[in-house]
Amino acid sequence: MSVSSPSRTHRAKGASDMLRQPRIAVIGAGFSGMGLGIRLKGAGLTDFTIFEKASTVGGTWRDNTYPGLSCDIPSRYYSYSFAPNPYWSKSFSPGPEIQRYIEKVAKKADIKKWIKFGTTVTSVKWDGRHWQLAAGDRDLGEFDFVVSAVGFLHHPTFPDIDGLDSFAGTLVHTAQWDSSTQWAGKRVGVIGTGSSGTQVVGSCRRRRCVAGALREDTAVDDPDGQDPVQPARKAGRAIRPRAVEAHLRLLGEGAGRVRRALHRAWRGPGGLQAGAARLPRRSRGRPESCVPS
């Protein structure tokens, strides 16, 4: 008969305690939190939980659905290094395509098992030994490490502009887009001239509506209530619609010229395509990707 002495049990428990994996909490399943989870899993660390307040992964790319949404650095760089995607449809791919990419990577990496969706972490407390996490009055457990991947752009803010509350037209925020809004033929004032503002203006042009972009520090106080762009123009601080249009046109023309030059280099007489066709078959395989097409 074997009887384990209390001291042996104690030693064994102490050893297993030391050998156990670190318990890790990641807050947020956007690009960052999900990428971290996949890397932890790849490193063999499986005792982790990703808490996500929404019902799926993607963060920024899940929440933003405004027309014209795309990344503003090339997609081939705006991707996970461990999940290159040779099938991007554009150099600066549209938002829904980026969200589909994130979902595909999540599926392929089988990471959703580690994510607790619909869980908003509301408190993180250090008790001297561990981090205690909670969602409201629900205890989420204790962890050795907590990684915040909550992003910082998912709380839409409206500028503090007099009269905004009583504006009679449609008022939308790019981060809370209402897809039922009718734009065709309307006059649109866009507050903010960052990436999102510029993309919305470009998209409005395609939808046959007139758009002007205002700097977010420009007051919208048109005296006759007709032209929200006019006062900003007078203040001389706004990007005028025509300037925005010209900028977009130049961008479009520049991209077109580069595309045509590449096309000539590839397809033209003595071009690269003819050279590639002469290569042995083995070296002409499709690029590898860990994202299923």
- Binding residues for ligand FAD, rule: CB under 6 A, are 27-33, 51-54, 59-60, 64, 69, 71-73, 78, 120-121, 149-151, 153-154, 195-196
* Least distance from ligand FAD to the Cβ atom of residue 181, Å: 17
Of residues 15 and 73, the one with the C-beta less far from ligand FAD:
73
Name the nearest CA neighbour of 155 among 60, 36, 69: 60
**156 SS3 class:** coil
* Least distance from ligand FAD to the Cβ atom of residue 75, Å: 9
Of residues 175 and 272, the one with the C-beta less far from ligand FAD:
175
Of residues 4 and 81, the one with the C-beta less far from ligand FAD:
81
Q: Are strands 210-214 and 187-191 parallel, antiparallel or unpaired?
A: parallel
Give the whole-angstrom CA distance, residue 272 versus residue 103: 35
Of residues 100 and 240, the one with the C-beta less far from ligand FAD:
100
* Least distance from ligand FAD to the Cβ atom of residue 6, Å: 43
* Least distance from ligand FAD to the Cβ atom of residue 107, Å: 17
* Least distance from ligand FAD to the Cβ atom of residue 102, Å: 9
Of residues 108 and 154, the one with the C-beta less far from ligand FAD:
154
Residues 6+ apart with CB under 8 A from 99: 58, 61, 62
* Least distance from ligand FAD to the Cβ atom of residue 118, Å: 9
Give the whole-angstrom CA distance, residue 22 versus residue 176: 38
Of residues 7 and 157, the one with the C-beta less far from ligand FAD:
157
* Least distance from ligand FAD to the Cβ atom of residue 63, Å: 7
With helix as H, strand as E and coil as C, how does 222-272 read?
CCCCCCCCHHHHHHCCCCCHHHHHHHHHHHHHHHHHHHHHHHHHHHCCCCH
Name the nearest CA neighbour of 190 among 209, 208, 206: 209
* Least distance from ligand FAD to the Cβ atom of residue 131, Å: 14
Residues 6+ apart with CB under 8 A from 144: 22, 23, 24, 130, 131
Of residues 64 and 203, the one with the C-beta less far from ligand FAD:
64
- Tokens found for residue 102: 């994130």
Q: Are 214 and 229 in contact (CB under 8 A)?
A: yes
Residues 6+ apart with CB under 8 A from 106: 34, 57, 112
Q: Report which residue type is found at 234.
A: K
Q: Report which residue type is found at 238.
A: A
Of residues 177 and 240, the one with the C-beta less far from ligand FAD:
177
Number of residues that this document lists for the chain: 293
